[in-house]
Amino acid sequence: MRRRRWIQSALALPAAVALPSPAAAQQTARQSQEEGLGLVPTPPDAVAYGLRRFFTVEQFAALEKLAEILVPAVGGRPGAKDARVTEFLDFLIRESSPERQELYRAGLDSLNREAARLYQKLFSGIDAAEAGRLLAPLGEAWAYQSPADPRARFLRQAREDILRATLNSREWAESASSRRGGAGTSYYWRSLD
């Protein structure tokens, strides 16, 4: 898909001809109309991978594993891995407050430490059954106040972020079987200045 879109962009072909996805076709048709010159812009993440800039290699791998476990691909719908959520969160958390950055860093380090203590390997190397013990706080009843335990707090935030980043992804929007539950479309207000 990515390659097809890149070719389409390079050749400036009408979106409806090159892309089978209705959502993508609608998007590019609208963009084309906005541009007014018949040129079709393509967002960078349709043709390229985002670079890891914030997490360490070990943290990034742990987050990738966590995302895969928390939001797997199910029933033909893309999961967090398909939606390249880890790349996106690396970017989002890099842009976020120091508190949020620390929550993620400490949380991922904690998962790696606990995995090493229990299973003598990093979190990225454990299987779903082994991960269950580390993710037990996510099975606890919800309370408004954030959990006192830092790892539990991180897991709660990460689950929310990973799910949202998956549902709001291009991959989710373009998957015909996953339309329900996605963020959909809304009016975007341009800069008013």
Partner 1 sequence: MAKTEDPDVLIIGSGAAGGMAAWALTKLGVRCLMLDAGPMVDPDRDRTLMSAHELPYRGFGKPGRFPHVTQASEFDANLWADEKQNPYTYAPNEPYYWVRIRMLGGKTVRWGRASWRLSDYEFRARDHDGFGDNWPIRYADLASYYDRVEPLFHVSGRNDGLPQLPDGNLTPDTSPDSASIRRFIAAARAAGIPTTKPRRAGGALASSANLLLPEAVATGRLTIVPNAVVREISVDPKTGLASGAWFVDRRSKRDYQVTARAVVLGASCLESTRILLNSRPRQWPEGLGNRSGTLGRYLFDQFYIKGVVECVVPEARGGAGGRDLMGGAGYIARFRNLEKREAKFLRGYAYDFSSGGTPSARILPLYGEPLLKELDAVRGAGFSMTTMGEVLPRRENHVRINAAVKDEWGIPVLHISQKYTENEHEMAKDAREVAVELCRQAGFEVLASHAQMVPPGESIHELGACRMGEDPKTSMLNRFNQCHEVNNLLVVDGSSFVTGGSQNPTLTILALSLRASEHLAGRMRRAEL
Based on the shown chain and the rule CB under 8 A, indicate whether residue 188 belongs to the binding site for partner 1: yes
With CB under 8 A, what is the number of residues at the site for partner 1?
53
From 1-9, 12-20, 53-61, 66-74, give the range in contact with partner 1 by CB under 8 A: 66-74
**Residue 151 makes contact with partner 1 by CB under 8 A:** no
H or E segment at 150? Answer: helix 150-167
Near partner 1 by CB under 8 A: residue from 60, 123, 159, 175: 159
Alpha-carbon separation of residue 49 from 73, 87, 90, 139 (angstroms): 20, 8, 12, 33
Residue 122's contacts (CB-CB under 8 Å, 6 or more residues apart) are 58, 61, 62, 112, 115, 116
Q: Distance of alpha carbon 127 from its chain centroid, rounded? A: 21
Residue 61 tokens read as: 């791998």
Rounded Cα distance between 102 and 80, Å, is 22
Q: Which stretch binds partner 1 (CB under 8 A): 6-14, 54-62, 96-104, 108-116?
A: 96-104
Contacts of 98 (CB under 8 A, 6+ apart): none
What residue type is 1 in one-letter code? M
Shortest CB 100 distance to partner 1, Å = 7
Give the nearest distance from C-beta 189 to partner 1 in angstroms.
Answer: 5
**Using CB under 8 A, which of the segments 50-58, 102-110, 118-126, 180-188 binds partner 1?**
180-188
Interacting residues with partner 1 (CB under 8 A): 23, 27, 30, 34, 43, 69-72, 74, 77, 88, 92, 95-97, 100, 128, 135, 138-145, 156, 159-161, 163-165, 168-170, 172-173, 180-193
